[in-house]
């Protein structure tokens, strides 16, 4: 074996574990007693977990903060501010800011990402070029799937339809969408149809921003579920946000959730962003503006959580730490029981890996050695303390080490 990690704890049960790695793959998992290897890591009782997955992010506008103040704090104003900026972003500017975001993500153990790329009349394919340059720069460090994202609509501006086809031919991997960017539900249905035409032609997954609004009029998630089944694209479609769910009545929510489960749609909640942008027009009580996470999970839907934005006009915070996003999700979705906390911890790991249809993800013999040695001993400990990612390994190669500590200036008290 090239590498053995000793004194670890299994991410699922907390049992003692050693992991052996050969040629980038896990070749042995045992409680103890693995033979000596060329290189050894002492996990010092930390958890060994498969690395994290960031399923929904926007690299191009990460850290666009100075001079982009969102006075109302709403999604609408954020989109307006960004629309004025995005046409003039030099490629090196996109690459520079995105690189900072990606380095932080890798330090936190993220080795896969889906990033939405604005495709519209203002952006043209220019932003795609910036994203492709970033993807190239980080090749071999983090896998990035690019989603062609028509944020300003397709039916509303048919010129964008051609750009979407071109984007898929020129390096985008996934077909995005935003049906509620259209004028009504009929146009939203056509928007989804167009996306499926492109996705089917390219054998690509579909990953849309869906019903990111407090307005219960919008239930394009139902249309997406219906068209997913009609097109036989079960398991290959993702719906991000789904905020309007929190404004629907229970009857509508129940009906749509059932269809989402049948269509095997993955749902990504962006709890930090949704809590910040939604409900701005409400007096008290204010809606939380997030997807109905627990109801979706109960119906068997694969639910995960995403960072979405990093310190920009949409969101003032963020640290590219999936554990922070999972913690905020747990708060927003009332996930406080141990099994619910475990579920929140699994969202940026097993759930997101399923969403991206990653192969050989996990901690079994034969899986790729994409691992995090995490300073935690359980799911609740992982979310509560969001401890150091002591080691981040990609295919058995150490990419990052983090070790923070306190220098006490008084005698030990415990
Ligand atoms: Zn987004």
Give mean pLDDT, residues 226-251.
98
Question: Which residues have their alpha-adjacent CB atom under 5 A from ion ligand 1?
Answer: 308
What is the rounded (10 degree) CA torsion for 44, 340, 56, 271?
-120
Active site residues: 212
For residue 414, the model assigns a pLDDT of 86
Ligand 1 centroid distance, CA of 226 (Å): 22
- The secondary element (H helix, E strand) that includes residue 340 is helix 338-346
Can you say whether the dihedral through the CA atoms of 252, 253, 256, 258 is positive or negative? negative
pLDDT for 248-288, tens place per residue? Answer: 999 999 999 999 999 999 999 999 999 999 999 999 999 88
Mean pLDDT value across the chain: 97
Ligand 1 centroid distance, CA of 206 (Å): 14
Cβ atoms of residues 144 and 106 within 8 Å: no
Report d(CA 379, CA 383) in Å as an integer.
Answer: 6
Ligand 1 centroid distance, CA of 151 (Å): 9
Q: CA nearest 208: which of 254, 255, 164, 247?
A: 164
Ligand 1 centroid distance, CA of 35 (Å): 46
Q: What share of the chain in percent tops pLDDT 70?
A: 100
pTM of the predicted structure, to 2 decimals: 0.97
Residue 344 CB neighbour total at 10 angstroms: 30
For residue 352, the model assigns a pLDDT of 98
Q: Provide the greatest CA pair distance for the chain.
A: 70
For residue 210, the model assigns a pLDDT of 98
Q: What share of the chain in percent tops pLDDT 90?
A: 96
Ligand 1 centroid distance, CA of 46 (Å): 33
Ligand 1 centroid distance, CA of 305 (Å): 11
Q: Is the pLDDT of residue 339 over 90?
A: yes
Report d(CA 348, CA 370) in Å as an integer.
Answer: 14
Ligand 1 centroid distance, CA of 308 (Å): 5
Phi first, then psi, for residue 155 (nearest 5°) are -70, -35
Tokens of 51: 């690395």
Give mean pLDDT, residues 177-190.
98
Ligand 1 centroid distance, CA of 116 (Å): 7
For residue 27, the model assigns a pLDDT of 98
Instruction: List the end-to-end C-alpha distance of the chain, in Å, as a whole number.
Output: 39
Question: For the chain, how many residues are written?
Answer: 414
Ligand 1 centroid distance, CA of 300 (Å): 24
Residue given tokens 């090196």 in the structure block: 92
For residue 12, the model assigns a pLDDT of 86
pLDDT for 120-170, tens place per residue? Answer: 999 999 999 999 999 999 999 999 999 999 999 999 999 999 999 999 999
Report d(CA 324, CA 312) in Å as an integer.
Answer: 17
Report d(CA 194, CA 198) in Å as an integer.
Answer: 6
Report d(CA 386, CA 400) in Å as an integer.
Answer: 16
């Amino acid at each position: 074996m090239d590498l053995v990690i000793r004194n670890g704890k299994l991410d699922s049960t907390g049992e003692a574990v050693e992991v052996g790695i050969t040629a980038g793959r896990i070749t042995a998992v045992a409680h103890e007693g693995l033979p000596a290897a060329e290189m050894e890591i002492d996990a010092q009782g930390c958890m060994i977990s498969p690395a994290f997955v960031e399923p929904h992010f926007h690299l191009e506008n990460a850290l666009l903060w100075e001079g982009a103040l969102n006075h109302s704090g709403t999604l609408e104003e954020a989109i307006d501010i960004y629309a004025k900026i995005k046409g003039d972003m030099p490629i090196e500017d996109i690459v520079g800011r995105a690189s900072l975001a990606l380095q932080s993500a890798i330090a936190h153990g993220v080795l896969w990402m889906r990033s939405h790329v604005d495709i519209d009349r203002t952006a043209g394919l220019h932003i795609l070029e910036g994203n492709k340059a970033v993807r190239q720069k980080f090749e071999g460090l983090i896998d990035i799937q690019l989603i062609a994202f028509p944020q300003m609509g397709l039916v509303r501006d048919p010129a964008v339809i051609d750009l979407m086809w071109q984007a898929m031919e020129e390096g985008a991997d996934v077909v995005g969408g935003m049906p509620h960017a259209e004028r009504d539900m009929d146009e939203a249905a056509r928007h989804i149809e167009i996306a499926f035409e492109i996705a089917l032609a390219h054998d690509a997954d579909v990953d849309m921003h869906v019903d990111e609004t407090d307005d219960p009029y919008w239930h394009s998630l139902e249309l997406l579920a219906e068209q997913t089944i009609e097109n036989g694209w079960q398991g290959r479609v993702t719906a991000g946000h789904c905020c309007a769910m929190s404004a629907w009545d229970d009857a509508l929510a129940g009906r749509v959730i059932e269809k989402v489960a049948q269509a095997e749609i993955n749902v990504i909640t962006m709890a930090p962003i949704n809590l910040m942008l939604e409900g701005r027009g409400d007096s008290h009580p204010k809606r939380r503006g997030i997807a109905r996470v627990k109801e979706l999970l109960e119906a068997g839907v694969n639910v995960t959580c995403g960072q979405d934005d990093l310190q920009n006009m949409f969101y003032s915070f963020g640290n590219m730490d999936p554990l922070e996003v999972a913690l905020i999700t747990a708060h927003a979705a009332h996930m406080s029981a141990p099994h619910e906390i475990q579920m929140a911890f699994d969202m940026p790991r097993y759930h997101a890996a399923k969403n991206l249809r990653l192969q050989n993800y996990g901690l079994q013999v034969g899986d790729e050695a994409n691992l995090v040695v995490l300073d935690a001993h359980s799911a609740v400990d992982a979310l509560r303390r969001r401890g150091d990612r002591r080691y981040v390994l990609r295919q058995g190669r150490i990419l990052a080490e983090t070790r923070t500590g306190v220098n006490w200036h008084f005698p030990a008290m415990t």
